[in-house]
Amino acid sequence: MKILVTGGAGYIGSHTIVELMKAGYDVLAIDNFDNSYPSVLENLAKITGKTIEFEEVDIRDKAALKKYINAHKDIDAVIHFAANKAVGESVALPLKYYENNVGGTVNLLEAMQEANINQIVFSSSCTVYGEATPPVDENAAIPVAQSPYGNTKQICEEILTDQSKACDLKVVALRYFNPVGAHESALIGELPIGVPNNLVPFITQTAIGKREVLTVFGDDYPTPDGTCIRDYIHVVDLALAHVAAINYLAQKKYTEAFSVFNLGTGRGNSVLEVIKTFEAVSGVKLNYKIGPRRAGDVVQVYAACDKAANELGWRTQKSLEECMLSAWQWEKAIASSSVN
Ligand code: NAD
Ligand code: UD1
Distances (CA, A) of 324 to 116, 219, 279, 327, 329: 42, 21, 9, 5, 9
Other C-beta atoms lying within 10 Å of the C-beta of residue 195: 10
Residue 207 maps to a domain: no
For residues 19 and 236, is the Cβ–Cβ distance under 8 A?
A: yes
Residue whose CA is closest, atom 33 of ligand 1? 85
- Ligand 1 pocket check: which of 15, 18, 31 to mutate, most ligand atoms within 8 Å of Cβ? 31
Q: pLDDT tier at 192 (50, 70, 90 boundaries)? A: confident
Interval 297-311: pLDDT, tens: 999 999 999 999 999
Residue 256 maps to a domain: yes
What predicted TM-score, i.e. pTM, was given to this entire model?
Answer: 0.98
Residue 8 maps to a domain: yes
Is pLDDT above 60 for 313? yes
Overall number of domains in the chain: 1
Q: Is the CB of 36 under 6 A from ligand 1?
A: yes
Q: Is the dihedral of CA 44, 117, 244, 23 positive or negative?
A: negative
Q: Which helix (H) or strand (E) element contains residue 156?
A: helix 148-166
Distance 228 CA to ligand 2 centre (A): 9
Q: Is the CB of 81 under 6 A from ligand 1?
A: yes
Residue whose CA is closest, atom 30 of ligand 1? 123
Q: Is the CB of 216 under 6 A from ligand 2?
A: yes
**Dihedral (C-alpha) 126, 132, 133, 134: value to the nearest 10 degrees?**
10
Interval 283-298: pLDDT, tens: 999 999 999 999 889 9
Residue 87 maps to a domain: yes
Q: Is the CB of 199 under 6 A from ligand 2?
A: yes
Residue 11 maps to a domain: yes
- Give me the CATH number covering residue 121: 3.40.50.720
Q: What is the mean pLDDT of the chain?
A: 97
- Ligand 1 pocket check: which of 15, 121, 123 to mutate, most ligand atoms within 8 Å of Cβ? 123
For residues 170 and 311, is the Cβ–Cβ distance under 8 A?
A: no
- Ligand 1 pocket check: which of 4, 5, 6, 12 to mutate, most ligand atoms within 8 Å of Cβ? 12
- Ligand of minimum distance to the alpha carbon of 147: 2
Distance 197 CA to ligand 2 centre (A): 7
Distance 24 CA to ligand 2 centre (A): 34
Which ligand 2 atom minimizes the distance to the CA of 179?
14
288 in catalytic set: no
Interval 316-337: pLDDT, tens: 999 999 999 999 999 999 998 8
Distance 109 CA to ligand 2 centre (A): 30
Nearest of 322, 324, 325, 335 to residue 208 by alpha carbon = 335
Is pLDDT above 70 for 338? no
- pLDDT for position 193: 83
Residue 220 maps to a domain: no
Q: Which of 11, 68, 129, 149 is catalytic?
A: 149
Residue 213 maps to a domain: no
Residue 57 maps to a domain: yes
Q: Which domain holds residue 240?
A: 2-182+232-264+304-317
Residue whose CA is closest, atom 11 of ligand 2? 127
Which ligand 2 atom minimizes the distance to the CA of 178?
6
Average confidence (pLDDT) over 23-42: 97
Which ligand 2 atom minimizes the distance to the CA of 87?
15
